[in-house]
Amino acid sequence: MFQKVVVLASAGAEWSGTAVPAVGHASGTFSREAACGCELIAASRLEESPLLAEATARSPAGCAPLCLRDVACAGFDWAPSVAWGGGVCRLRRRPPVAHFVPLPAAVAGGREETAGVVRLKRRLLLVHNHPPHLGFGSDRRLLALAQALVDSRFHLLFVGADAAGKAGRSQGRAQLLSIGVELVSAISEVELTQLATKHDVSVVILTLWFWGASASMPARYLRMLRTSLPHLKIVVMTDDVHHLRQRGLEARAASTRGVALRTGAEAEEMKEEELSHYYHADHVLTISDVDRGSILQSLRPGRRIHPRRFSTLRHVFGEAPHFPLASAPPFRDRRNALFVGNMNNPTNVDGLTWFADAVMPLLLQRQPSFRLRVVGSWAGGGEGVGALRRRLESLAAVDLLGYIDDVGSELRSARLLVVPIRWATGILTKQTLAHVHGLPTAITPAAAAHAAPEPIDPAGFARVWSHRQGGYDTARVAAVGDTAAAFAAAVLHLHGNASAWVEISAAAARFAKSGGGGQGVCPEALRRDVEAFWAVMEETACFVR
């Protein structure tokens, strides 16, 4: 495929990344000169490419700007000129068949020719806060993305900006190395620009998280990349709408203690930084269409961003299932309820606190033998974590397992997964973990709205593929409760009703495989999303103002 080149105006020569001119929307780019990832192949020509024009240039690289200035140009040939030491560019139109043809040395008196097309090189730099950790859902997403990029023949380099030596990350590091992705850690702003230059990358993806006191990756690197390497396309990737999550946290804190402990200034400050990073990037990657819509609605007048500058890279289950569905234990061989989630996530802390205080008493009143097993790390938690742990430890019906490497045994023995999350953004990956393994879930409406591969409706229904009907059908894939009493009823329904359990187990597994318009949370779906994102990047990679 040849690169589509669009001329915005005839004057000037200012390259921009993914600028989209539209009334009320910002271009959001500050790139200056760019080679636009022109790919050059020596001793070759473009077959069946109609000639558009000829011009002189000192080198093949000089042909690229000439081609970019003509909207009809899709590629070029360059041949050296003995007379003046430079060469001649032959600008080519888009051909019916687009490929390079090697030239024998005897062709054209032995002169070497070079052909090139204007398209973005498939060379990426992915920059995250730290090397990938298999205990973090966000990092598992990055590992799945790395695999999808490698499968799609991208050259990928992973940068873990900090904490290279911390324990628990060796498995994620080994997984990257096993698929041929080099990992670099603890890198400064200048070193990052040098690394991008050395590896000839065309796109840098900066993940956006607000973790502790550390600066986010866009805050640390975006300005330096933009000013030092203006030809790069800079993409910000987020798993969340961070300011909305912070606003929810502040609202819960105020509600719990009965006073407005925070004024909302922290959420507003986070919003300003978050939206500024999106605005100054060339492109934004979200984890769901819901998050993309929330970000677009949050933009202020004068800093609108065209929706074309957003792409969704869905959450997928990128690793091998812990066990095949065919070998999953039946209802009668299962016991207890399961909660999965790390306590450095405030939505988990809030949800589990609500479950312990408001829902557990109702469950134990109706079923004294009920037990909850809690899986997840307690490290790095914020306000309320210590109190929650003490509260759960005081309950005889709760088992605290902490972080475990292999959650498969718990998925096999549990009768259901509880997701008592009361506010959320992004994707609640614990639901996907359950769906893939056919484990029914009791969820809140907030959790239902943040399921993958698409939201579940407030009644627990979603679209799944039906082989019997040869099309999509609506099936109940979860039990939903919006109050403590309703949530307790949903839990007991799955815990005690074998026929409902079997029905929802099968539907949830079908949802994971086929929901979201096809392919569900399978890795193949992410590869399709990657190619769609890259198609947008290539269509808008080389603009001339």
489: domain CATH number?
A: 3.40.50.2000
420 or 261: which carries more pLDDT confidence?
420
- The Cα 483–Cα 486 span in angstroms is 5
Torsion of CA 303, 304, 307, 311, to 10 degrees: 20
How many CA atoms, within 13 angstroms, populate the side-chain half-sphere of residue 91?
Answer: 20
Same domain, 510 and 530: no
Q: Answer yes or no: are the C-beta atoms of 218 and 183 closer than 8 Å.
A: no
Strands (DSSP E) found in 315-467: 337-340, 372-375, 398-402, 416-419, 441-443, 461-466
Which residue carries 């790919």 as its tokens? Answer: 39
Q: What is the pLDDT at residue 108? A: 46
Same domain, 306 and 418: no
Least confident range from 261-275, 378-392, 521-535: namely 261-275
- The answer to whether residue 6 scores a pLDDT higher than 50 is no
Mean of pLDDT values over 53-72: 80
> For 332-359, what is each residue's pLDDT tens digit?
999 999 999 999 888 999 999 999 999 9
Most confident of 113-127, 150-164, 167-181, 252-266: 150-164
* Alpha helical stretches, state H, 35-115: 63-68
- The answer to whether residue 162 scores a pLDDT higher than 60 is yes
pLDDT band at 265 (very low <50, low <70, confident <90, very high): confident
- The answer to whether residue 7 scores a pLDDT higher than 50 is no
Q: What is the pLDDT at residue 32? A: 33
Instruction: Tell me what percent of the residues of the chain surpass a pLDDT of 70.
Output: 84
- Is 19 among the domain residues? no
- The Cα 55–Cα 61 span in angstroms is 13
Which residue carries 């539209």 as its tokens? Answer: 22
- The answer to whether residue 10 scores a pLDDT higher than 50 is no
Q: How many separate domains does the chain show?
A: 3
Query: How far are the Cα atoms of 392, 533, 538 from residue 18, in angstroms, in the given order?
Result: 50, 12, 9
Mean of pLDDT values over 175-187: 90
User: Mean pLDDT in the chain?
Assistant: 83
- The answer to whether residue 30 scores a pLDDT higher than 60 is no
pLDDT band at 231 (very low <50, low <70, confident <90, very high): confident
Please identify, among 73, 100, 117, the residue that sits at the C-terminal boundary of a domain: 117
329 or 303: which carries more pLDDT confidence?
329
- Is 91 among the domain residues? yes
Instruction: Tell me what percent of the residues of the chain surpass a pLDDT of 90.
Output: 49
Q: Answer yes or no: are the C-beta atoms of 17 and 283 closer than 8 Å.
A: yes
Q: What is the pLDDT at residue 29? A: 38
Q: How many CB atoms lie within 10 A of CB 63?
A: 29
pLDDT band at 262 (very low <50, low <70, confident <90, very high): very low
- The Cα 186–Cα 191 span in angstroms is 10
Q: How many CB atoms lie within 10 A of CB 99?
A: 12
> What SS3 class is residue 441?
strand
Q: What is the pLDDT at residue 34? A: 40
- Is 374 among the domain residues? yes
Q: What is the pLDDT at residue 540? A: 55
Least confident range from 78-87, 98-107, 280-289, 351-360: namely 98-107
Same domain, 225 and 311: yes
> For 486-530, what is each residue's pLDDT tens digit?
999 999 999 999 999 999 999 999 999 988 777 889 999 999 999
- Is 466 among the domain residues? yes
pTM of the model: 0.78
- The answer to whether residue 222 scores a pLDDT higher than 70 is yes
- Is 20 among the domain residues? no
Specify burial of residue 28 (Cβ count, 10 A radius: 0-12, 13-18, 19+).
Answer: buried
Which residue carries 């809690």 as its tokens? Answer: 374
Q: Which domain holds residue 137?
A: 123-316+526-544
Same domain, 179 and 238: yes
> What SS3 class is residue 77?
strand
- The answer to whether residue 307 scores a pLDDT higher than 70 is yes
Q: How many CB atoms lie within 10 A of CB 501?
A: 23
Q: What is the pLDDT at residue 38? A: 60
Same domain, 390 and 503: yes
Q: What is the pLDDT at residue 278? A: 94
What length is written for the chain? 545
Most confident of 31-35, 348-352, 462-466: 348-352
Same domain, 171 and 226: yes
Q: How many CB atoms lie within 10 A of CB 310?
A: 20
Same domain, 463 and 478: yes
Same domain, 304 and 410: no
- The answer to whether residue 181 scores a pLDDT higher than 90 is yes
Q: What is the pLDDT at residue 45? A: 79
Most confident of 30-34, 103-107, 427-431: 427-431
Same domain, 336 and 414: yes
Q: What is the pLDDT at residue 433? A: 95
- The answer to whether residue 235 scores a pLDDT higher than 60 is yes
- The answer to whether residue 31 scores a pLDDT higher than 60 is no
- Is 368 among the domain residues? yes
Same domain, 214 and 290: yes
- Is 291 among the domain residues? yes
Beta strand 416-419 with 441-443 is: parallel
Same domain, 181 and 209: yes
Please identify, among 117, 150, 167, the residue that sits at the C-terminal boundary of a domain: 117
Please identify, among 60, 82, 117, the residue that sits at the C-terminal boundary of a domain: 117
Which residue carries 């800079």 as its tokens? Answer: 234
- Is 10 among the domain residues? no
Same domain, 385 and 473: yes
